[in-house]
Amino acid sequence: MAKKKEEVVRGAEVVNDGNRAINKFRISDAVMMLIIVLLCLTCILPFIHLLAKSVSGNSYVLAKQISFIPKGVTFDAYTSLFKDGSMVYSMIYSIIVTLIFTVLGMIVCTCAAYPLSKKRLKGRAVFTFLLMFPMYFGASLIPTYLLFSNLGLLDNMWVLILPLIYSPYNMLIMKTNLQTSIPDSLEESAFLDGASNFQILTRIVLPLSKPILATLSLFYAVGRWNAYADNAYYIRSENLKMIQYKLSQLVSSAAEAQTATLSEAAAVTSTPEVLQAAAIMFVTIPIICIYPFLQKYFVKGAMIGAVKG
Amino acid sequence: MSKKNSGGGKAATSSSWKNSLKRDWQLYVMLLIPLIIVFVFNYAAYPGMRMALMDYKPAKGYAGSKWVGLETFQKVFRDADFHRSLKNSIIFNVLDLLVGFPVPIILALMLNELRYPKFKKVTQTILYLPHFLSWVIIGSVAYTMFKPTTGLVNIALMNMGFISEGIPFLTEKWHWAVTYLLIGVWQGMGWNTIIYLAAITGISGELYEAAMIDGANRWKRMWHITLPGIRSTIVTLLIMNLGRVMNSNFERLQQFGNSQVKDFQYQLAIYIYEKGLQSAKFSMATAVGIFQSVVGLLLVVLSDWVAKRLGEDGLL
User: C-alpha angle with apex A29: A27 to A31, nearest 5 degrees?
Assistant: 70
Chain B nearest-CA residue for A60? B150
**What local confidence, expressed as pLDDT, does residue B158 receive?**
87
Residues of A in contact with B136 (CB under 8 A): 228, 244-245, 247-248, 251, 283
pLDDT at B8 over 70: no
**What local confidence, expressed as pLDDT, does residue A309 receive?**
38
The DSSP H or E segment spanning B175 is: helix B173-201
Q: What dihedral do alpha carbons A266, A268, A270, A275 form, nearest 10°?
A: 50
The CATH class, in words, for B64-309 is mainly alpha
Report residue A302's pLDDT band, with 50, 70 and 90 as the boundaries.
Answer: confident
Q: What is the mean pLDDT of chain B?
A: 87
B267 compared with A19, residue with greater pLDDT: B267
Percentage of the residues of chain A whose pLDDT score is greater than 70 = 85
SS3 state at A73: coil
Give the phi and the psi of residue A25 in degrees, each rounded to 5. Answer: -60, 120
Chain A interface mutation, best of B251, B260, B261, highest count of A Cβ atoms under 10 Å: B251
Provide the ipTM: 0.85
E-strand ranges in B251-292 read: none
- Name which of B117, B312, B316, B295 is nearest B234 in CA terms: B312
> What is the 8-class DSSP label of residue A24?
P
Which amino acid type is present at position A287? Answer: I
- Name which of A262, A263, A264 is nearest A272 in CA terms: A262
Of A90-94, A175-179, A259-263, B187-191, the range with the highest mean pLDDT is: A90-94
Q: Minimum mean pLDDT among A16-25, A76-85, B107-116: which range?
A: A16-25
Average of per-residue pLDDT across B161-165 = 84
Please tell me the distance in Å from A79's CA to the nearest CA on chain B: 21
Report residue B310's pLDDT band, with 50, 70 and 90 as the boundaries.
Answer: confident
Subunit contact B251:A228, Cβ cutoff 8 A: yes
Please tell me the distance in Å from B82's CA to the nearest CA on chain A: 16
Report residue B5's pLDDT band, with 50, 70 and 90 as the boundaries.
Answer: very low
Average of per-residue pLDDT across B65-79 = 90
- Domain(s) labelled CATH 1.10.3720.10 in chain B stretch across 64-309
Domains along chain A with CATH numbers: 1-74 (no CATH), 75-309 (1.10.3720.10)
Report residue B167's pLDDT band, with 50, 70 and 90 as the boundaries.
Answer: confident
Report residue B7's pLDDT band, with 50, 70 and 90 as the boundaries.
Answer: very low
Tell me the pTM.
0.86
- How many CB pairs below 8 Å do chains A and B form together? 273
Contact B176, A287 (CB under 8 A): no
Chain A interface mutation, best of B134, B159, B209, B279, highest count of A Cβ atoms under 10 Å: B134
**What local confidence, expressed as pLDDT, does residue B257 receive?**
87
pLDDT at B94 over 60: yes
Residues of B in contact with A198 (CB under 8 A): 26
Report residue A265's pLDDT band, with 50, 70 and 90 as the boundaries.
Answer: low
Chain B nearest-CA residue for A63? B150
Average of per-residue pLDDT across B217-240 = 85
Contact B314, B307 (CB under 8 A): yes
**What local confidence, expressed as pLDDT, does residue A306 receive?**
60
Residues of B in contact with A297 (CB under 8 A): none
Chain A interface mutation, best of B110, B120, B132, highest count of A Cβ atoms under 10 Å: B132
Average of per-residue pLDDT across B207-219 = 85
Chain A nearest-CA residue for B187? A43
Instruction: Give residue-wise pLDDT tens across range B105-158.
Output: 999 999 988 888 899 989 998 998 998 899 999 999 998 899 888 888 988 888
A141 compared with B64, residue with greater pLDDT: A141
Chain A nearest-CA residue for B197? A303
Please tell me the distance in Å from A75's CA to the nearest CA on chain B: 19
d(CA A119, CA A112): 14
Average of per-residue pLDDT across B48-72 = 87
Report residue A163's pLDDT band, with 50, 70 and 90 as the boundaries.
Answer: very high
Of A13-27, A58-72, A139-153, B227-241, the range with the highest mean pLDDT is: A139-153
pLDDT at B254 over 60: yes
Please tell me the distance in Å from A248's CA to the nearest CA on chain B: 6
**What local confidence, expressed as pLDDT, does residue A303 receive?**
72
Subunit contact B144:A49, Cβ cutoff 8 A: yes
**What local confidence, expressed as pLDDT, does residue A267 receive?**
61
Instruction: Give residue-wise pLDDT tens across range A196-222.
Output: 888 999 988 999 888 889 889 988 999
pLDDT at B234 over 70: yes
E-strand ranges in B57-197 read: 66-67
Q: What is the mean pLDDT of chain A?
A: 84
A38 compared with A120, residue with greater pLDDT: A38
Report residue B29's pLDDT band, with 50, 70 and 90 as the boundaries.
Answer: very high
**What local confidence, expressed as pLDDT, does residue A258 receive?**
44
Q: Sign of torsion, CA A127 A132 A137 A138?
A: positive
Report residue A305's pLDDT band, with 50, 70 and 90 as the boundaries.
Answer: low
* Residue A186 CB-half CA count within 13 A: 13
Chain A interface mutation, best of B41, B234, B249, highest count of A Cβ atoms under 10 Å: B41
Name the packing angle between helices A272-307 and A210-226 (round to 10°). Answer: 140
Chain B nearest-CA residue for A289? B129
Residues of B in contact with A143 (CB under 8 A): 45-49, 51, 286, 289
